[in-house]
Amino acid sequence: MVRRGRPWSLPLEDRVLLVTAFWRTNLTMRRLAPLFGISKSAADRIIDHLGPRLALQPRRRFRKDTVLMVDGTLVPTGDHSIAEQS
């Protein structure tokens, strides 16, 4: 199998971790990229490329006895005009 283009700078496991860290922490590229030793643009490309492939397909209906869990994790924000200080 011949691959085209430049290879990724991170192995697949680290790219998956980067995407999940982005979704979970809501960090900016400026803060997330140095944690993985890559540039902001590389982090953005990884998230744009791999993110949709990791996302679950939305379900239209659930069975009557299905239990749904909601993640109520608070996300810190720097703008206190729209969010209360913790």
The type of residue at 29 is M
Q: 51 burial class (0-12, 13-18, 19+ CB within 10 angstroms)?
A: middle
Is 86 contained in some domain?
A: no
Structural domain harbouring 21: 12-54
Is 50 contained in some domain?
A: yes
Q: Which of 2-6, 22-26, 76-80 has the lowest mean pLDDT?
A: 76-80
Is 25 contained in some domain?
A: yes
Is 5 contained in some domain?
A: no
Between helix 40-54 and helix 29-36 the angle, nearest 10°, is 90
Is 78 contained in some domain?
A: no
Is 21 contained in some domain?
A: yes
- Total domains, the chain: 1
pLDDT single digits (tens) 30-83: 999 999 999 999 999 999 999 989 887 776 788 888 888 777 776 666 666 655
Q: What is the pTM of this model?
A: 0.63
Is 76 contained in some domain?
A: no
